[in-house]
Structure 1
Amino acid sequence: MRHYLPGLLLLAFSNASLAEIQTRELTYRSADGTPLVGYYAYDDAIEGPRPGVMVVHEWWGLNDYAKRRARDLAGLGYSALAIDMYGQGRNTEHPADAQAFMQAATANAENAKNRFLASLELLKAQPRTDGRKIAAIGYCFGGKVVLDMARQGVPLAGVVSFHGNLSAQTPATPGSVKARILVAHGEADSFVSDRDIADFKHEMEQAGADYRFNSYPGAKHSFTNPDADAHAGHGLDIGYQKEADERSWADMQAFLREVFE
């Protein structure tokens, strides 16, 4: 059996250890009564509680990609939960459906926050989670979600946004951001303008947030998802980039080690 060691999460796990990753679906509800389905992953070869990481899905919903990232995090030694922001674990491969799901989920900001908070409490309640050490990562739509939760002062050690929307319906205010922030942005992301980036950095600086902004050359929107090239067939300006995916994942690992020290 291994113990969780903050400075040694990672890269050293063998293929045999990956076979010890356990997963299960967890059903729960948000304060507005919405039934939610989470996907929980952990390495049962590690003894005792370890930091927890929430994974917030892309606008496609809680699909295999979000679940794979939860397993990846479990392989790094974390207690990981891919959360459900749409309800009932819904997901799709069609942009029109994804847009409808996203708009419904964000139409009421309080309900969206309640779904995130219900997921946070679910992860904290797992025996293998150290409830004092929780972070959240998000992709695309999920990247915006984790940034918005940080803006609203949700008690997280850190958040990582991968190719997320940077705009804020309710901008951060001085002292409101408690979590440390890492933004992983593709320089060729046509969904995020130079003005969006400048406004985000100004917002964070005015709020006194502890943030860092990493850009990856040539990377388009959804650069971390190998399925992005297939989805581009719907006329979306998105694409996978292996180098940016690997660099941003390594940057995330270093960031999480720091915030969980």
Structure 2
Amino acid sequence: MLRFLLPLLLSLITLTAHAEVQTREITYRVDSTEFTGYLAFDDAISGKRPGVLVVHEWWGHNAYARKRAEMLAALGYTAFALDMYGTGKLADHPEDAKAFMMAVTGDMPEMKKRFQAGLNMLINHPSVSPGKTAAIGYCMGGGISLNMARAGADLDGVVVFHGSLGTSEPVKPGAVKAEIMVFTGAADPFVPQEQVLAFEQEMESAGVSYTLTSYPGAKHSFTNPDADGFAQRFNMPLAYNEAADDDSWRQMQKFFIRIFR
């Protein structure tokens, strides 16, 4: 019996070893500036699958953004964590992060260009079905993803994790193509209740399909386990919230299953 089972066991071991998330750094250019993104996908899945763009926090394209890309790949998607700042631009202090962020968010045409370049890298990967794409963003990346949806980005969905919801130019009816899902912390001073209410009124007035979940007691960066360390080092109102992190990720998975059906 063993000699009949052995080939089967060996084939299963080989298949298990092969069915892993593949990752690679990819450098690309936007005009004269070089950027470094991070691609993740499961090469054991045959055929094309939806693609998800990951937009990083104000600290820059770091290990956290890459981890989220890997988690998405493990769910069966191809994920690309783009770079909004440029190769090697990582902040280790809030003042540097703020300067990097303002240089990008203060120039809407450049922000669109960098976002679209990352989206193109995702769409052009042979494993991605170009007609099935979404973007997720954290903090600054959430605000950027939302603003790209407001600008009419060709996406099926956008998921905002503790990102800014404010805008000086409320969206007009028919402008948003993506369905929007927002997760925010009720105790986040960077996204106060007035901003949340204004966002909901904006979406409803424009007829945008959206959902918003506000977690009682959750502070800014509630999905990032490194938030507590940042809070202690820089005396910032940040805190990781495991329950909110887990719930928002579960809801995102259901959202993707529905919009990509």
Q: TM-score, normalised by structure 2?
A: 0.91
Q: Which residue of 1 aligns with 2:247?
A: 247
Greater C-alpha Rg: 2
The alignment status of 1:28 with 2:63, answered yes or no, reads: no
Letter in 1 for 2:27: T
Q: SS in structure 1 opposite 2:24? A: strand
The 2-side partners of 1:73 and 1:187 are apart by: 26
Contact 1:93/1:231 (<8 A) preserved = no
Letter in 1 for 2:203: M
Q: Which residue of 1 aligns with 2:139?
A: 140
The 1-side partners of 2:69 and 2:18 are apart by: 13
Letter in 1 for 2:24: R
- Structure 1 residue 139, shift from structure 2 partner: 0.2
- Structure 1 residue 148, shift from structure 2 partner: 0.2
Q: Which residue of 1 aligns with 2:119?
A: 120
Letter in 2 for 1:253: Q
Q: SS in structure 1 opposite 2:39? A: strand
Which structure exhibits the higher relative contact order, with contacts defined as CA atoms closer than 8 Å and separated by 6 or more residues?
1
Q: What's the CA shift string for 1:61-80, capped at 9, x where partnerless?
A: 00000000000000000000
Letter in 1 for 2:114: R
Contact 1:18/1:75 (<8 A) preserved = no
Letter in 1 for 2:239: G
Alignment of 1:77-156 (within 5 A): 77-156=76-155
Q: Which residue of 1 aligns with 2:203?
A: 204
The 2-side partners of 1:247 and 1:98 are apart by: 28
Letter in 2 for 1:121: N
Stretches of structure 2 that go unaligned for 5 or more consecutive residues are 1-15
More helix by share: 2
The 2-side partners of 1:177 and 1:17 are apart by: 42
State which drifts further: 176-185 or 190-199.
Answer: 190-199
The alignment status of 1:73 with 2:72, answered yes or no, reads: yes
Q: What's the CA shift string for 1:133-162, capped at 9, x where partnerless?
A: 000000000000110011010100000000
RMSD: 1.3
Letter in 2 for 1:144: G
Stretches of structure 1 that go unaligned for 5 or more consecutive residues are 1-15
Identity %: 53
Write out the 4+ residue segments of structure 1 that deviate beyond 2 Å after TM superposition: 16-19
The 2-side partners of 1:92 and 1:169 are apart by: 27
Contact 2:186/2:192 (<8 A) preserved = no
Instruction: Mark the CA change 1:221 to 1:116 in structure 2 (over 3 Å): closer, same or farther.
Output: same
Letter in 2 for 1:108: D
Q: SS in structure 2 opposite 1:28? A: strand
